[in-house]
Amino acid sequence: MTDISYHNHSRFSDGADTINDMVQAAKAAGLAEFGLSDHWVVTPFCDPEVKTWSMAHDQLDNYIAGVLQAKQDYSDDSFQLRLGLEVDFFPENAAAVVAALGDRPFDYLIGSVHFVERFSVDISADTWAPFSQEQVDAIWRQYWQRIRELAKSGLYDIVGHLDLPKKFAFYPAVDLRAEEDAALAAIRDANMVIEINSAGLDKPCAEPYPSLSLLQRACALGIPVMVSADSHRCPNVMRNFPTAYDLMARAGYDPDTRWRFNRRQRQASPNV
């Protein structure tokens, strides 16, 4: 089986292990391709908390050099390392942030929404707890609007952990299907991939991101999907993959299809 995982983190952001340790673990686990995509966050507001989980801005080129050196050291006929970055989307500065990355040799950019306005949706259940149900509904509605804007920006290759606000099991009580479908349509129109992020199975929501319903609608729209572990430590480089691929099949996708990225170009390859 050919397995690929592009959403993963090292010590350059909030991972526990070094680049080399993560790459060695991925290769030992039998992954055919492994990507590192440490967090790159440039907020349009002051948030000191971001520094605890995102890459320091003066470390970007060291991160790239580290991944490229590991690529040289570990890639061979059966294993490829890819250089990625998980870039937070803020409508106020998204184009400038991506433009500032310049012509650095990324294989892919993951666009993610962690913030709705100044609220971080995935830091802690304690930050959600004081909200009324109406406030929870409003955060979800704004989240889907942000995802739609992210896709319409055309700046990224992969959408990270779609439906992330469910992480701590705070769900909307209103029907947001129109907002969800508008976001999915924008993702389709932008020719982006969504990931089945298997990390969600280990969170209070106890299911991958996104849900089966969202995946079924994505499949109906012809949106490509790929499985990623969103690993932050070596033992998790292929966590929950069987469940993720089962969900992929249940949603209507061919579980033998894999997508690869090389210098921002996407290519389908059979799982052989």
**For 228-269, how does the pLDDT look when each residue is reduced to its tens digit (9 = 90+)?**
999 999 999 999 999 999 999 999 999 999 999 999 999 987
d(CA 190, CA 211): 21
pLDDT tens for 110-128 read 999 999 999 999 999 999 9
pLDDT above 90 coverage of the chain, percent: 97
Domains of the chain: residue spans and CATH: 4-270 (3.20.20.140)
* Pair type for strands 80-88 and 39-40: parallel
In the chain (272 residues long), the average pLDDT of successive 10-residue segments reads 92 98 98 98 94 96 98 96 98 98 97 97 97 98 98 98 98 98 98 98 97 98 98 98 97 95 89 46
Half-sphere exposure of 264 (CA within 13 A, CB side): 9
Phi–psi pair at 29, nearest 5 degrees: -75, -15
